[in-house]
Every structure is written in structure tokens, then in C-alpha cells.
Structure 1
Amino acid sequence: LPQAIRSLQAGLAIEEQHLELNLATLAEAQRQAYAATLMGSTNSAISLHLQIAPDNPEATKLALTTLLRRKGRLLESGLNSLQVLRQNLTPEAQAMLDQLTAKRQALAALVYNPPTTLTTAQYQAQLMQLEQDANQLEAALARSSARYQAESTPVEIATLQEQIPAHGVLVEYIRYRPYDATNPANSWGAPRYAAYLLFPDGRVEAVDLGEAAAIDAAVNAFSRELRQGALSVSSLTSLEAATRNLQSRIFDPIAPYLTDLEHLLISPDSELNRIPFEALQTEAGGDYLVQRYQISYLNSGRDLLTLDVTEPSTTPALILANPDYDTADSAVPIAQASSTSQPDTRSLGDNRRSIELQDLEFGPLPGTATEAEAIADVLPNATILTEAQASENILKTVAAPRILHIATHGFFLENANPSSPGSRSGLAVVLDENAPTNSPVGVAVENPLLRSGLALAGFNARSSGDEDGVLTALEAANLNLFGTQLVVLSACDTGLGDIANGEGIYGLRRAFTLAGAETQLMSLWLVSDDGTSDLMARYYDKLTSGMGRGEALRETQLEMIREGERYSHPYYWASFILAGDWRPLE
């Protein structure tokens, strides 16, 4: 066993060097394809620990270290490339960035407002050409960024544990495939979930949670019952049963290690990204977890190392609410951003339409106007844009507002050509879980960052000056939010997207992180206009009184629970989750 651990450790160290080099110099599609080739060794490290040597401290350390170094790595590499480019922008790089932004805008327009004069073949040819052009620009930008990047130091457990709050714990969930070296013909088992717990004193605990299929089914049942929000006895009974089932699978096994703790730093994986842990219970019929713990969400525990690496905000808060979906004003009544606002550096993928997107329309949200007024009372210097001025054109000119609050319709559209039931979709590669995990199976999938977005002024007419009123997640990643401390998307489904194991959700949540936002407050399901407005007014009142970004949300949720009535149902208070920095605004 010691020799096996040493051999695997040496191989992982070599892979880490190659991974760092490739992530710094490749375009996103190539990054993901390369990272997929390393899944086998990641699964091997976790399997060695959990299946063969659960009590071996060296195996424990190797498994957690591998998990911390690789989980969420693609998101981090894209974010780092953007930061480096912004700090070392050359005229040549600026020209390439401008070209890439133009390509993405053209792509979004082609998807959401396709010309009626094009045949299907011509339409697909234009999409393919845009993708090829963008890939070339991405690769060139990645190489430009790599020239300035300092040599990074691989993450170590000892460094990370120092960033965990007192009375807190990092909970790293992972979906993995167990490896059985004694069965060469069928060495990879069915996917499973596990949880690794890292404490401030460096102690590590790990628990295998069972087969992923059963846990994913429990997640779907829990989410379905929560979204209904019904108060009938039968509905509440069904919700309690679904809650208990999921809780027994993903929380009860780690609960014995959480005694006397107050703060859970949760890094979900795969389908666990779709649920609010706050709405689970400590026991059947007992307190909700939000009543026992402060819960913060991270893409990876590695995020703790960059919480203090921030840039100053350049403008006051900006509130966009109650857009006029039929008419847009392309005038810019606020200070324009620098022309160096940065796009993300990712592949556009296969961009076939999910549905006839040109037929998608939204109705007004008058309650968001009241919401904006209530927030403005506690943010006196905020710029408020409503109706025709709540436009895509104006939003794209903004430079790092301290707070960005967008109250409008959000959407996430299903893939027009989903992969097989046993596969997990990423941005450019689908990995078939029944195939060997050390070699990716490339399957063209529709780009999830084009299927997530926000509806702004002019959306229904697909007309907003030289824009179309549709801010896709792909375009949102182009915003310049380095210095923005909080993004609030007060809209339905803004926290949803496609799941990629180890990489979180490809949707608006990922896009605003890439744009530079420190913290995102987003919704997992549609809540009534008045219910959302009430929650937001309470949240900002507490936030501006000095509470932390996470504490303010928790206190708002506790307040709604204590008051009883319909708003005490988790359908109302658990719909929003906060990801990123939980501490007070600076």
C-alpha cells in the first residue's frame, strides 16, 4: 500500500505540472478536453482512499489534495486569464478582445433572432464559422495571458485550512467512480458521491455517501416538492418525506462531525448544485439547517485562497428593474465603462438552437419596480434604471459597480439534443460514465451559456439599439465586474444551468463569476413577484446595517421562518442561495 500511494502521488504531481501548462495556454474547449483525460487518476486517488485505505492518513491527504487541486479548475483558469489580461493589456490583445466580444455578440444575435432569409444549412454554416473564429481568438488570448502569469504554487491542505473560519468546516462533495484494479474487464464501478471535511486545525474526515443514482433521484424529488410551495397537508407530508430521504443520504452521514460548529462552507458537486442545503433538517420534523448553521457556497474550497485578492469598485450600486420588454432606450445615462471590459476565454461549442427562441416572450414584472424603490431607500447613491432604460446596451457599458442588482425574468432552456441518460454534459465534451474515465468521449452539445440568460428591455421585440435585449450567460461573462462585491439576480432560474462534474453549473452563476463578481445571490426556482420583493427589501436592510453578505441572507430567512404564515415555507425563503464571499461589504 505505501508503494502504491507513492507511485500514484508521483504520477499526480507530473499531471499537475502538465495541467497547469495546458490550462494557461489552451482555449476553453481544449482545456476541458484535456482535463477530462485526467478524470481516471482523480477517481483513482479517491478510490484508493475510500475503497481500499480509508484509515490511512497518507491516502486521505492525497485524495483531498487531488480534489482541491482539480475541482473547479477550469473556472479558475478562465478567471485568472481575464485578470492577467486586464492588468497587462497590449494594443494587440485589446484588438483581439474586441474581436472576440463582437463574435460573441453576433453569435447571440444569430441564435435569438435568426434571419428568416437563411436556409438551415446557411444558418449552421454561419454558426460554425463564428465558432471557428472565436476558437482561434481564444487560443491566441490564452497564450498572451500565459506570458504574464507568475508560476503558481499547487494548493496544499495546510495553506487552505488557515482560511477556514473558527467554528467552521469546509465540506467538499465529490461525484466519483470507484476503481477496482482486480477486475480489468470492468474496473470502473457505478458513480458514487463522497464528502471530505477539512477543519481549521487540519483534521480531515471523509465519508462515502453511496451510489449517485439514488442520491440524484432524491435530489430531484426534494427539488420538485420544494418548487411546488403548496401548503396542503398532503403536500407538506410529501415534502417532509423527500427532505428526510435526501437528508439521510447527504447530510446525516457527516452530521456526527459537525458538533459545536456554526459555519458550513459547502462546495457541492454535480446534482447537489441544484439544492439549497438550508432547507434540509437536523432531524425529521426538526429545525432547518439554516436555523443551526450559517451556510456558504463555494465552487471549490480553493476559492478561500482568493477571497482577499480583490479590486476596488469604480462606481456606485446599479439597479435594473421592471424592464419594458417591448421597448428599449439605447441611450447611456451613466458613466461608460472602459473599452477594456473583458470577455471570458472559452469555446463557443456547438450552438444549435434549443427551441424556436425567436418565439420566446415575457410579460411585465411590476413588483420589481417596487423592489427597486425599496432597495434605493437603503442605497441612496444607487443608479436606478427601469422600463426602457433597463437595457442590455446600458448594462454592457457599466464598469464594476459596487453592487449590481438585476430584477427581471431569467431563463434556462433545455438542450435540443441531450446526450444519453448516462452522460454528464460539459461545455464542449460529454463524458459517458459507462466509458473508461481516462479517455473523453467527445459529443457535440449545445452551448449552455447560450441557453441561460436575462430578459432586458426590448426582449420581446428583439430590438435594443444595436443589441437584441437578450443578455445571454455568454455575454454576461463579458461584463467588467472586477471590483463588484455583490451581484443579485432577482429573477427565476438564474442559479440554474447545465451540470459538469467537478466544475459546477454552466449558466449565469458561472458567467458572473467569470465577469469578476465576488459574490452572487441567485434563485433556484421561480418565486412570486411580491415574495421576492419582500425578501430582497429585508436582505438589503440587513446588509447595509453592517451584516455580512451571507449573514444578512440567513437572518432574512430566519425572520421569515419565525413569522409563520405562508412565507415560512421554504419555497419562499430557500429559493435564493449565496455563492462566494460571505463577509460584509467593504
Structure 2
Amino acid sequence: MNNCNPQKWSLLIASILLLCANINSFAENNKEHKFYKDSLITLREKGKLEDALQLTQNNVDEVIKEFGLSSIRMVIPLIDRGKIRLERQEFGMGAEDFKQALRIMKNSTGWLYPDYAVALNYLISCSLRLGHFQSVKPLIEEVELIFEKTIGTDNINYSHTLFNKALFETLAGNYLDAEIHYFEAIEIAKNKTDLQTYFREYSIYEVYLADLYIQQYRNTEAIHILKFLYENYKNQQLNNSSDATRILLLLGDANRKIEHFPEALFYYNQYEAQVTRLLGEEHNAHAVGITRIAKVYVQQSKLNLAKALFIKAESIYKKDETEKIRRLLVLLDLADVYIHLGNYALANQHLELAKELGSSSSLPLHNILLTSARLNILYGRFIEAELQLSELLNIMERSHMERSEYFAKATEMSVHLNIMLGRVDKAEEVLNREMTLLNTIQLEESVSYFKGLITKGRIIPKKYDDRSVVNSSLIKQKEIKSESYLKGLVTKGRILPVKTKTEIAGSVFKSDTTLIYINELLSRAKILEAKKNYALASELLTNVEDMVVHKFSKKHHVLIEIYQLQGKNLVGLENKKEALDYLNKAINVCDLLNINNDKILYLSIQKAMAEIYMSDNELDKASALYEQINYKSLENKLIKTDFEGDIAYLYALQGNWKEAEEMIISATQERLVFYRETLNYSSEDEKRLYLQKTKTLFDHFYAMIYMKGEESSGEMLSHCYNLQLEYRDFFLTEGQKRKQQLLAFKKERLDQGYPSYLNKMYSLKSNIATLNYMSTKERKEIGVNYYNVMDRINNLEKVLVYAADEYEVATEEAINWEKIQRKLEEDQVAIEIIKLKSIEAKESKYIALIIDNECAIPTIVDIGETNFLETEAYFQYSKQTTPYSRSLVMKSTKGIADPYQTFWGPIQKVITENQKEVFICADGVYNLINLNILKNRETGKFLIEEMDIKMMTSTGELLLDKKETSDEKNALLVGNPIFNENKYVSKSENTRTVVDASEDDAALEFMLDPLPGTEVEVIESSKLLKENGWEVEALMQEKATELFLKRMKKSPKVLHIATHGFFINELPNSISNNELLRSGLFFSEISKRNQRDAKEIYSSEVDGILTAYEAKEVNLDNTELLILSACQSGLAEVTDGEGISGLQYAFRIAGAETIIMSLWSVDDFATQKLMTTFYKKWFETGDKYQAFKEAQLVLMNEYKKPYYWGAFVMVN
């Protein structure tokens, strides 16, 4: 020792002392870190998150002071502070902590450091809660890559990754995948930790699993999990922790979903009290609680209480810029409350603010679409509403969210909208699809079914409380060899197949009284009422009313709709006194709920009451009620003009004709503008149904004309004529334009090398027509949902018209009678026949409006009562249309209707002697008669001999320029299709007629005679055409096919079809109420109908029946003349003022300029002679009308009876 260098000794002593000091410092630091961690755990367990946050803040400050902001030592303190903020639901601030920690690691250790994955996992959890949905997917993939390249996935931190994946799939609506990930996360956490650590740190996974079940309406399972966890928390003195607090919230959610409101409020109040005590009343977590309580109040119709809480919650979220999504959702909840209260302006204001907040979010915001659609319906913007509901339902179906409350609400709204638009069948299909989700189904027991579940990962553990979770990944890989093994697992409760969406809904809704189920029943009642099944609807509403009153109270908002609908049903049942009682009850509930009395719901109830008073002639009561109604401020033009129509009619009943006429004319003009603005892009079917559904206003107008008759004012008569023009223009002219626009769009698309989808729409229409004539059994064999097919047709037509984008509504000048007048010569008149009805349709009559080139206003002619014209008069007329009738020369006319005097006499009286050319548009029974065959007893002449009667689809067609057709003279003649395989033989082999031999539920079958005479007709006509330089193609027998006409690329200048035609007034077993499906022509394919497979017929789109529905799409763009030499080809439904049914209308849409067609079963030989004579005269004169008239006169000289020469009419 003495030999030791003193200097070295001194250095050694100093080193030892320094080492001891460092050892002591390290020990002290460890003690401090352990104390810090223990303190943090204790504070979290006791729910003292304010103190916990302060502790983590102090730790951050100390590390910054000693090591600086960028030190790697900052990572753990930042993660700790971020975790506390995450527990405090301060997701934005927590995310900033995790981002800072990630930046430090990226600049020091690099991104492969395992703690980088830990911080990234927490950042993902915050982002998902903030609604940053799509941005997290690459982050999850990055976390998985880090674990794969470093410590692997068999560690506790990877459970957090699985939890985030589950949360992501939940938000995406992929509930099955979410459930699997939750179980995988739970399994790792339980295997890698002790019981105490699991409950303190990782049991939150099970809490979120329960939340997933609540979203799926699996509330029993959710409550089981939550109560089990809460008991364990209490046992471990963790009941003040943030996780335990969240359990209280979710127990409230689960009970609210099944509408156990007292229990829900009990848990929500516990949650709120705990959050308020721990975090204060201005904290986001407090806003969460009061929002939930407000939702209960909405369901209970405590709307003003709910409004106050929503406003408070929104003010809390507004202070936190990171809480945009939760603020957005509260704004939409407020909008919903304001809609209930009738304050649409405030509702719209909150909706717009919500849209602004949601513009930067990638989260699927179903509430925005739902609220937007609801307001659009209230404002009368039906097209926008339909598009939004369609988008919403499609999004949720793709995301398997059919069991969500949004889906139920969207379905209910879709049913309501379809009923409003007149599409009752579609409404019923939508409702039936939803109701299917409310029925429990039995799981299949086949081994292949269970293997499928395992392969897809659809087997999950059944037990939650035995600490032994089945490893789902191992189950999926397990070799299953026997069915008994699988059944044994289920029987023993070891595994449970994930419930299908139908079971999930069914388990909740079957035989229950939840609001969703109540609303489904209410929708069913609406459909029954729309179908005029008033008794059944009324019975159902009585049951629903009992449910609501028993469950809630007598002042629930649903009762308003129930009472209002019950009132409508009772009016239908002619029990008006009780109807008024129910409507008064609806008003009382509105008043109790403080619903604004100037909004649509309230006003519509008052309107229904006033209508009852008017129908009972209690005009003073009706007038007093209307004086209270502030309808003028309504933004919904449909409802506003309906009110004006009612009030105008009331004025008329009171004798205030000046005010009545001014109001009704103004209202109908405004309605027409509304139609133009809203229906231009609707499909034709939807347009037709909507106009039928919303025609009450026009019924009032025509009822006022009916009341005044020939004393109607000039303004009313002028407007009446214009309405006829507008209505037909709405279908015919616009239909023609639409077809041309779509064809132009198709050509442009094909030129660009892209499909136009137009042919697909035509194919779908052919599918519908084919299905319409099949039996129920055949339809089932094909397995096609025809409602879906019709829906696709309507959707395709709308989007194609949008794509063509040729409509410029504002630039089109309205059509009117004065413009027609300017087209008329001195010897010409134009006539619109109109069938008028009284408002209750118990009385009706026919009038004619006549204009010439000098009249100041249209002249009105009262033709006669409908009942007489359509029965006795038509019966006398029809005697001339059979070959067996005797002459109509009568010795005595007393008591017998003279068809000439009945149908033409009143008109003849106002036409001057020099007015010999008459353009006439028929309506009602006039569609069934040929005016030319009416015989004037005084002169002994038929009308064809006295005047030039020119039938028109609309007198508005006088304004159309003559269509330019090519100079090419080409003709297509089709005749004598193969029908001889039918065994039926008629009594008159030379007559073209059709016998329906079908039963109600069978395929519609027709017994069709062969038509050898039509072959002669085609051959003779072809010969004449060829002799005059025409290029002729003749198709007969097996070549006379429907397929050829449908695929015809080149439009012939003349198309001559000689075959059987048909018109069916009421089609049995029909799938659609479209009138165009009830008339058509037969071709050769019909003879093989019974030998062909139903699926093959459907897929080929050809069954040998070309309906008017399909005929619209035939290429007749260059067709100057169409001859339908077929029985009943000119018949159409006797509708009132529509003129949109039958082959005439269809072929005009297709492009045919002039049409010759028949009104009754035609004699072959007479028809041959008529047609050949017509062609000869046409080639001689160049005038189609004159040639046709002369041909009929020639035939009349040979066959005296009109049956032989008068069956055919020329139109346009």
C-alpha cells in the first residue's frame, strides 16, 4: 500500500465516491419513478383524472427542464399525459401529445422503435374518436409492420392494435370483422396480464365490444357483459375509474335502445353525476351524458327538455375545436327536435352548420343525409329527398348496417315518400324488406353451414365471465370432420354463431313495442290507407295507438300522425264525425307539445278538418278554419297550392266566383311550374304516378267548371283548354323529346367508345313486360324480384336523362290555345273533349272546348252526363261495330239514344256550316268510338260524308312542325304470324279477335286464330308499294317476330303490321299498374310460349307479346306512317283527361307521325280491301288523310254496315 502512487490512490477514491453517489442517485430515481407510477395508477383508479393530468404535466415539465423538449426521455411522459387525456375524452389534446412523442422518436431512435408503435396506437385511438376515419388505415398497417419487424405480435401491445382495428371496422359498419378483432384483443390481454392489470388497463376492450352489440341491437348480450364488468370493478374498487364511468353510459344506451327509459335515465344520471364530480359541468364528458338524456326525452316526446340539453351540449363542444364530429351530431339532434316542433328554418340552419363541420370528415355521416332528406320532403323537394334516401340506404346495406336505427328511420321515410309520390307498390316493397329484418329465422344445421361460418371467422365465444376465451384464430384453423362435433360445441355453449342481421333485428323487434316497430306498423297503415283498405288500416291504427299510449303517454308526437291518419281512414269509411274527433285529438297533442301552428303538420290537420266541413256543406265552419291557417308562407309549393285549391273551391261553393277563379287559376299555374321544376328528371312511370297522386288541385279546378258549366268565365275556359294542352304535353311531347335526347346521348357515347346503358334500360323494360304475362309459379322459378327490376328501370332512366342533360326548362315557352288558334284556317276548328267530375266523383259529364280562328275565348259545349254516354249511348253505338247487327234505321226513337245526336249533335250546333275540317282530341268514352260512323238521321249520311274529322293525340300537335323524314321510300310489312299451334277455333274464322283463356293466378294465355287473310293483305300491299318505287321488306309466318321489331336498326318510312292486337281493361295477376302493359300486339314467338322455359323467355326478353310499354322504344324515328291492322289496336283505358295509355300513345313516343289503327275486331277481307285501296289513293294524291277517307268511302259503298269499313281510325 505504501508503494502505491498517491496520485493514483486519490483518483481511485474519487471514482469510488462518484460511483456510490451515482448508485444512490439511480436508486433514488427508481424510487421516484415507482412513486410516480403508483400515484398515477391510484389517481386513475379513483377517477381523479384532474389530479392525474396535473401529475403527468409536472412530470413533463421536469423532463423538459432537465433534458430539453427533444430528448428521448420525453417520450414516456408525453405518452402518459396523452393517455390521461384520452381517458378524459380530450381526444384532440391527447393526439397532440402522441404526435409530439412520435416526432421525437422519428428524429432519434427511428420508426422501428417498439415505443413508436405504442404511441402510434394511441394516436389511432384518438383519431378514430375524432372521426378521422380514412386517415387511420395506413397508420394501422404501419403499426403492424413495426411489430412484425421487431417484437412480433405475441405481446400485450399488439392487443391495442387489434382493438383499434375493431374500432375502425365498427365505424365502417363491418360489425362481424369488428367483433372478431375485439375477441382477439381480449384474448391476448387476458393471456398476457394478471387479473388486476387486465381490469385496470385492458377491460375497456370488453366495454367497447358491448358498445358494438348495442349498435347491433344485441342488448341482452351487451348488458350481460357490462354488468359483469361493473361488478368486478366494484370488487376491485375501480368503480370511480373512467372505464367504470363509461360502463354506466353504455348501460344507459343499452336500455334506451330497448326503450326501458327509467333504467336508461337511472344509468345516465349516475354517469352524469360521476362525470360532473370528477371533471366538471363544462367538460366534454358531461356533454356526452346530457346528450344521451336528451335523446331519451326525444323518444318520450319531451321535446323542449331535450332541446335545452342539446343546446347546452352543443355550447360545450363548440369550445373544443377538435370535437367537430360530436358537435355535428348534436346539431343534427337539434335539427330533428326543431322539425318535430315545426320550426323548419332553425332546423335547416342547424343542418347547414352540421354540413359545414362535416365537410372535412371522412366518417360516414348518415345523420346528415337523413335530416336533409326529411327537410327536403317537408319543403317539397322530392327528387333530392329520394336521391338522398337511396344513397343512405345503399351505403348502409353495403356496410351491413341494416340493423341500425338510421336504416329503420330511412326506410320509414322512404315508405312515406313513395306513398306521397303515388308509388304504393314500391312503398310496400320497401316496407316488406324492412319487416323481413324483424322476423326471427332458424339457423341451418348442416355441417357445410357450420364449416362456412368457421371458414369466414363467424364462430365466436359465447361466455364472457369464465376467463377462458376460445381462441377464434385456432377455431378457424381447426380441422372439423363431423357434424356432431360442431353441433356439440353449440349445444354445450362453447361456441355461438354470430347472429345474422335478421336474427339480430328479430330478437329485439319480434312482438315488441319499440318505436321502430311502432313506426313500421304505422307505415303499414299508411300503405293500407293509400290502397283504400280503410277498415284494416283503421283497426291497425287503433292497436298502434294503444301501444303508444300504454308505453308513453297521451301526448307523444307519434300520436299526431296516428290520429291524422285515422281521420283519413274514417273519412274513407264515411264516418266523418269520428274522423273530426281524431283530427281534434291530433291538434290537441300538437298544442301540448308546443308545435308551431303555422307549419306543415299542424296545417295539414286543419286542412283535413276543413275538407270534411266542406263535404258536409258546413261552409261557415270551413271558412273560419281556413281563416286561421297561414298557408301563404309555406315553402312547399305542393301543399301551398293544395290549400289554395281548397279555398278557391270553398269560395265557389259560397258563390264568391271572382275570388275563386283568380285563386284556382293562380294555384294551377304555380303547380305546373312546380311540376316542370321537379319532374323533368323523373322516370316516366314515376311522373305518371305522381301526377295521379297529386291531382286534387286540378280536380277542384274541373269541379268548378262542372259547377258553372256553360256559364264559366272566359278566363276559366281559356285556362281549362290550356291545362288539357299542358297535361298531354307533359307526357307526349316531353316523352318524344326525352327519347330523342337519350338516343342522341347514346350515339355520342358510342362514338366515344363507351356504352350508353340505354339498351340495358330497354332490356329491363322487356323483362317487366315478360314477367307481367307469367304465372306466379313461373316468376318464382325465375327468382327475380320484379320490384327491384322496376326500381332499376326508374333509376336508370333518371340518371340517363341527367347525363343527357338536354333539358332547359326556363327557356321553353308554355303552350296555349291562342297559339293553336293562329294555326287555324277559316274552315277549321280544334276541339278538346273533356270528362268533368264533381269533387266527390259521384257525378260527371262530358264537355267540349272549341276554338276557331276568330273566337275571343274557347266555346264550351255541354255534351251530356257520363253515365248516359258511357252506358246507354255507347251500347247503341256499339251495335254498329258487330257484323250481326241490324240496321240502325229506326221507326221510333222514343227512349232510345241516337249515337249521332248524343256524341256529335251538341258539338254540331256550335260549328258553322263552312267549318268542315275538325281537329279533335278525345277523352274518356270518345277514345272508344269512331265519330265517322255516326249516322245523321236527318240527312241519312254518316259523319264521314259531312265533315273531315281529324283525330289527334292532342290539338297541341298542330303547333309541331312537320317532321323531316328521309326521301328514301322504304317499307316494312309484317303479317300472318304463326298462331296455328293454339287449339282454339273461333266461330268466325275471318275475324281478327282474341280470347283470354287464363285463370287468375296462371300465366295469361290467349287463344289466337290463324290470320291467313293478313298474308294476302301484306302481299297485295307489298305489290302496290313496289309498283310505286318503294323498297319493301315483308315478314310473314316464323319471320313475323317481336324480336325483329325490337332490334330494328333502321326506321322504315312505312310500317304496316297485320296481326292480332289486344286491350285488357283489368289484367289479372299483374305486377304493375302501368296502363301501357295492358295493350299490345302478338307475334310468332307466342306460338312457342308453352314449350319454352320461363327463365329462357325472361332472359331472351321476347315472349311474342309486344306491349305498348315496350313499343315506345321501337325505332320509328323516320316513320311517316304506321298501320296497325290489328283488332283493338286503337283502344286504350277510359281515363279522364290523361290520354297516356294504349298503343297510339306508345307509337307516337316511338316516333311514328301518322297512325292508322282499329277499334274493334276486324274482318280480314274488308281490311285487305281497305288497305290496298288506301295505298292506291295515297300514291295518287300524296295526301294520307284524304286517301284514307276515300278508301273508307269506297268500302262503305260496298259494305253498308260500319262494322266492315269503320273499324279503323287515323290519328295525326
TM range (shorter): 0.7 to 0.9
Q: Is the 8 A contact 1:539 1:553 kept in 2?
A: yes
Aligned twin of 1:201: 854
TM-score normalised according to structure 1 size = 0.80
| Matching of residues 141-220 of structure 1 within 5 Å | 141-149=800-808, 151-178=811-838, 190-203=843-856, 204-220=858-874
Match of 1:73 among 721, 725, 730: 730
* Cα distance in structure 2, aligned partners of 1:243 and 1:200: 36
* Cα distance in structure 2, aligned partners of 1:243 and 1:550: 33
Match of 1:460 among 1087, 1093, 1103: 1087
Q: Which amino acid aligns with 1:469?
A: G
Q: Secondary structure at the match of 1:79?
A: helix
* Cα distance in structure 2, aligned partners of 1:469 and 1:363: 15
Aligned twin of 1:16: 672
* Cα distance in structure 1, aligned partners of 2:713 and 2:874: 35
Larger Rg: 2
- The answer to whether residue 710 in structure 2 is matched with residue 58 in structure 1 is no
Aligned twin of 2:1191: 556
Q: Secondary structure at the match of 1:251?
A: helix
Q: Secondary structure at the match of 1:538?
A: helix
* Cα distance in structure 2, aligned partners of 1:510 and 1:97: 21
* Cα distance in structure 2, aligned partners of 1:492 and 1:454: 9
- The answer to whether residue 801 in structure 2 is matched with residue 110 in structure 1 is no
Q: Is the 8 A contact 1:225 1:239 kept in 2?
A: no
* Cα distance in structure 1, aligned partners of 2:895 and 2:1017: 33
Q: Secondary structure at the match of 1:568?
A: coil
- The answer to whether residue 258 in structure 2 is matched with residue 258 in structure 1 is no
Determine which structure has the larger helix proportion and give its number.
2
* Cα distance in structure 2, aligned partners of 1:132 and 1:485: 34
Match of 2:1209 among 564, 567, 577: 577
| Matching of residues 190-339 of structure 1 within 5 Å | 190-203=843-856, 204-230=858-884, 232=886, 237=890, 244-259=897-912, 260-284=914-938, 286-312=940-966, 316-325=970-979
* Cα distance in structure 2, aligned partners of 1:44 and 1:251: 27
Deviation at 1:410, TM superposition (A): 1.2
* Cα distance in structure 2, aligned partners of 1:310 and 1:205: 34
Q: Secondary structure at the match of 1:458?
A: helix
Q: Is the 8 A contact 2:972 2:1055 kept in 1?
A: yes
Match of 1:140 among 774, 782, 799: 799
Deviation at 1:536, TM superposition (A): 0.8
Q: Which amino acid aligns with 2:711?
A: P
Deviation at 1:65, TM superposition (A): 2.3
Q: Is the 8 A contact 1:197 1:206 kept in 2?
A: yes
Q: Secondary structure at the match of 1:108?
A: helix
Aligned twin of 1:385: 1035
1:431-488 C-alpha deviation (Å, 9 max, x unpaired): xxxxxxxxxxxxx864332332212123211369943322222221110111211110
Aligned twin of 1:508: 1143
Q: Which amino acid aligns with 1:573?
A: W
Determine which structure has the larger strand proportion and give its number.
1
1:393-447 C-alpha deviation (Å, 9 max, x unpaired): 22223221100001111122342459xxxxxxxxx9xxxxxxxxxxxxxxx8643
1:466-523 C-alpha deviation (Å, 9 max, x unpaired): 4332222222111011121111011111112323321226222222111111111001
Q: Is the 8 A contact 1:26 1:143 kept in 2?
A: no
Deviation at 1:272, TM superposition (A): 1.3
Aligned twin of 1:366: 1012
Q: Secondary structure at the match of 1:506?
A: coil
* Cα distance in structure 2, aligned partners of 1:377 and 1:152: 46
Q: Which amino acid aligns with 1:555?
A: E
Range moving further from structure 2, 198-207 or 33-42: 33-42
The percent identity for this pair of structures is 25
Aligned twin of 1:345: none
- Kindly tell me: are residues 165 and 460 of structure 1, through their superposed partners in 2, closer, same or farther at Cα, counting changes over 3 Å? farther
Aligned twin of 1:584: none
* Cα distance in structure 2, aligned partners of 1:192 and 1:146: 42
Aligned twin of 2:757: 96
Aligned length: 519
Aligned twin of 1:27: 683
Q: Is the 8 A contact 1:219 1:271 kept in 2?
A: no
Q: Secondary structure at the match of 2:741?
A: helix
Deviation at 1:177, TM superposition (A): 2.0
Deviation at 1:366, TM superposition (A): 1.2
Q: Which amino acid aligns with 1:288?
A: F
- Kindly tell me: are residues 522 and 505 of structure 1, through their superposed partners in 2, closer, same or farther at Cα, counting changes over 3 Å? farther
Q: Which amino acid aligns with 2:1107?
A: T
Q: Secondary structure at the match of 2:1017?
A: helix
Q: Is the 8 A contact 2:965 2:1120 kept in 1?
A: no
* Cα distance in structure 1, aligned partners of 2:687 and 2:671: 14
Q: Which amino acid aligns with 2:943?
A: L
Q: What are the ranges of 5 or more consecutive residues in structure 1 without an aligned counterpart? A: 180-185, 328-351, 419-427, 429-443, 581-586
Match of 2:1171 among 516, 528, 536: 536
Q: Which amino acid aligns with 1:126?
A: N
* Cα distance in structure 1, aligned partners of 2:717 and 2:939: 35
Q: Which amino acid aligns with 2:763?
A: A
* Cα distance in structure 1, aligned partners of 2:896 and 2:714: 34
1:104-150 C-alpha deviation (Å, 9 max, x unpaired): 2222333445696654xx67963223222212222223433554446
1:123-181 C-alpha deviation (Å, 9 max, x unpaired): 796322322221222222343355444632111222111223441111111012245xx
Aligned twin of 1:397: 1047
Q: Which amino acid aligns with 2:794?
A: N
| Matching of residues 462-541 of structure 1 within 5 Å | 462=1089, 466=1100, 467-504=1102-1139, 506-541=1141-1176
Q: Which amino acid aligns with 2:1205?
A: W
- Kindly tell me: are residues 579 and 521 of structure 1, through their superposed partners in 2, closer, same or farther at Cα, counting changes over 3 Å? same
* Cα distance in structure 2, aligned partners of 1:521 and 1:294: 16
Q: Which amino acid aligns with 2:1207?
A: S
| Matching of residues 440-455 of structure 1 within 5 Å | 446-455=1073-1082
Q: Secondary structure at the match of 2:941?
A: coil
* Cα distance in structure 2, aligned partners of 1:263 and 1:35: 33
Match of 1:84 among 735, 741, 756: 741
- The answer to whether residue 789 in structure 2 is matched with residue 130 in structure 1 is yes
- Kindly tell me: are residues 137 and 264 of structure 1, through their superposed partners in 2, closer, same or farther at Cα, counting changes over 3 Å? same
Q: Is the 8 A contact 2:846 2:865 kept in 1?
A: yes
Q: Secondary structure at the match of 2:690?
A: helix
Q: What are the ranges of 5 or more consecutive residues in structure 2 without an aligned counterpart? A: 1-656, 982-997
- Kindly tell me: are residues 118 and 172 of structure 1, through their superposed partners in 2, closer, same or farther at Cα, counting changes over 3 Å? closer
Deviation at 1:44, TM superposition (A): 4.0
Deviation at 1:80, TM superposition (A): 2.0
* Cα distance in structure 2, aligned partners of 1:576 and 1:453: 16
Q: Secondary structure at the match of 2:1040?
A: coil
Q: Secondary structure at the match of 1:81?
A: helix
Q: Which amino acid aligns with 1:250?
A: F
Q: Is the 8 A contact 2:1042 2:1104 kept in 1?
A: yes
* Cα distance in structure 1, aligned partners of 2:718 and 2:757: 42
Q: Secondary structure at the match of 1:488?
A: strand
* Cα distance in structure 1, aligned partners of 2:759 and 2:783: 24
1:10-59 C-alpha deviation (Å, 9 max, x unpaired): 22221121122234121223212332355344344445456448263333
- How large is the Cα RMSD of the aligned pairs? 3.2
Aligned twin of 1:334: none
1:72-102 C-alpha deviation (Å, 9 max, x unpaired): 5323332221122223445399533121111
